[in-house]
Structure 1
């Protein structure tokens, strides 16, 4: 385990509009506001999203298993922002649904807003943390300290 203790910095409230991309929008805010570490909350709706629901396979390399969420539907989620070598990167997991169809996972691959998506970014200051390439997985994983 690795950990570091910091404090709450700024709190940013944002509203995404119809069709806006979840990752693109939040990472754009983080870049503009120079947010390096943060917790993220979302509430609202998704028009569509390609969602990682777990590994399709683990060996020899982890391969994500994607499912498509076709909305419009409701969504809420929690995530983090930490920087890699190129800037702030969002990692978020969400639950989304429409009627009796529900899906939980990591919405990637063009997660688009339906009507409104409320975003709260809670900046964390005073810690050293970032995403670094992990040779074993090939993914940029969080490193603290």
Structure 2
């Protein structure tokens, strides 16, 4: 097991409207609020309407249907980042100096 420790910083609640890009809205919040690092958005979901369904990891674009509520918690004093793990063969969360 690995873990990191930080402090609760600011809390943001967004209402993303119909037709807006969910990922761009969160990135815009980070820009407007001077969040030090651009958020890394890693979202696994299944969304659908009618015969159109999107399932998996949404990374590039996600157009909102009706409305999405987003909660963003800023964590301060935590050195963490995603780095490639040879053993797992994927980017995994790691902690400590040099991981931000």
Please give the TM-score of this superposition, normalised by the length of structure 2.
0.69
For residues 1-145 of structure 1, the aligned pairs below 5 Å read 1-35=1-35, 83=37, 87-98=38-49, 104-132=55-83, 134=84, 141-145=92-96
**Deviation at residue 3 of structure 1 after TM alignment:** 1.9
Runs of 4+ in 1 over 6 A off after TM superposition: 99-102
Distance of aligned partners of 1:107 and 1:98 in 2 relative to their CA distance in 1, 3 Å threshold: same
**Deviation at residue 107 of structure 1 after TM alignment:** 1.9
Please give the TM-score of this superposition, normalised by the length of structure 1.
0.51
Q: How many residues align?
A: 94
**Deviation at residue 35 of structure 1 after TM alignment:** 3.3
Distance of aligned partners of 1:101 and 1:28 in 2 relative to their CA distance in 1, 3 Å threshold: closer
Q: What RMSD in Å do the two structures reach over aligned CA positions?
A: 2.8
Contact 1:13 1:121 in 2 (8 A): yes
Contact 2:42 2:58 in 1 (8 A): no
Gaps of 5+ in 2: none
